[in-house]
Amino acid sequence: MKKDFLCLTDWSLEELEQIFALTRELKEKQKRGEEHHLLKGKTLAMIFEKSSTRTRVSFEVGMYQLGGHALFLHSGTTQLGRGEPIKDTGRVMARYCDGIMIRTFSQQGVEELARCSEVPVINGLTDMYHPCQLMADLFTVIEHKGNYRDLAYCWIGDGNNMANSWINAATVFGFELRVATPKGYEAHPEVVERAKKLGARVLYTNDPAEAARGAHVLNTDVWASMGQEAEQKQREQAFAGFQINADIVKLADPGCIVLHCLPAHRDEEITDEVIEGPHSVVFDEAENRMHVQKAIMATLLG
């Protein structure tokens, strides 16, 4: 049976920890310049319906380092953009390629693609989730703090795809998470409900200071995600005060680390001072996208 990587809660804690173990091994091999062609001769179709810098490059380079090949397909220049159904695209891609990575709007669309294609599908971001980013984020936490356990995690900002994914991560990995969002911008109710049902330790608040106090990991994301550009001005007002800045860092644990999936809007959701400061690990985090995705691809396509 093929397996897909669509949402963190589809995977068990043991399976995700195995991905971290493989990530560590592949990252070390890459740093030593040791060949690790686990996907020799394999191909990955990468379908993008939204923009990307990190996701595109990290998957493409990662696939090359594994001995395989990745194809960049943008909806604007494929038949997807002219209305060909995603399920037909998926079935055709599965005849040529060994796996599909997709970045799009609808999570249901990705699930449909996975149902219809005979090869593994990886979610490279939807409006609902960004699971590859979460794996990179937690791998970065492990590198800097030695472990992901026994830490308090703090999310400040929009209840968007990243916030939903952090709640899923708290559900699967069992750590304590505090989520501070403005009223009206909370995380998706389905995600919150599932987390509650599964006993996740998540505090929901409208007070960034409450979320940050004593936290070991601080995290935020843009106020307007891709597809919400028209709401930028309105969101700037709604999110005033939901910024990771020096005052918030002072409230957190003195050894805290600061994450941001990037791209960042400096001096909006995070100050330039913090992102350039000693607590920030955002570029290690961006690098780790490639290493964890290599492990995910090797697990699914290998």
Which among 27-35, 52-60, 171-179, 294-302 is the span making contact with ligand CP, rule CB under 6 A? 52-60
Q: Does 53 bind ligand CP (CB under 6 A)?
A: yes
> What number of other Cβ atoms are within 10 A of residue 250's Cβ?
10
Comparison of 227 and 241: residue with beta carbon closer to ligand NVA: 227
User: Positive or negative, the Cα torsion across 262, 268, 270, 271?
Assistant: positive
Q: Does 262 bind ligand CP (CB under 6 A)?
A: yes
- Cβ(123)–Cβ(110) under 8 Å? yes
Give Dmax (Cα) for the chain. Answer: 54
Q: Which residues bind ligand NVA (CB under 6 A)?
A: 125, 160-162, 221-222, 225-226, 261
Does the annotation flag 103 for ligand binding? yes
Comparison of 38 and 62: residue with beta carbon closer to ligand CP: 62
| Shortest Å distance, C-beta 160 to ligand NVA | 5
Annotated catalytic residue 221: yes
Q: Which does residue 288 bind out of ligand CP, ligand NVA, none, counting CB within 5 to 8 angstroms by kind?
A: none
213 Cβ contact partners less than 8 Å away, ≥ 6 residues apart: 251, 252
Comparison of 24 and 265: residue with beta carbon closer to ligand NVA: 265
Measured CA to CA, the distance from residue 253 to residue 255 in angstroms comes to: 5
Residues serving a catalytic function are: 103, 130, 133, 221, 261, 289
The binding site for carbamoyl phosphate comprises 52-55, 79, 103, 130-133, 261-262, 289
Which parts of this chain interact with ligand CP (CB under 6 A)? 52-55, 125, 133, 261-262
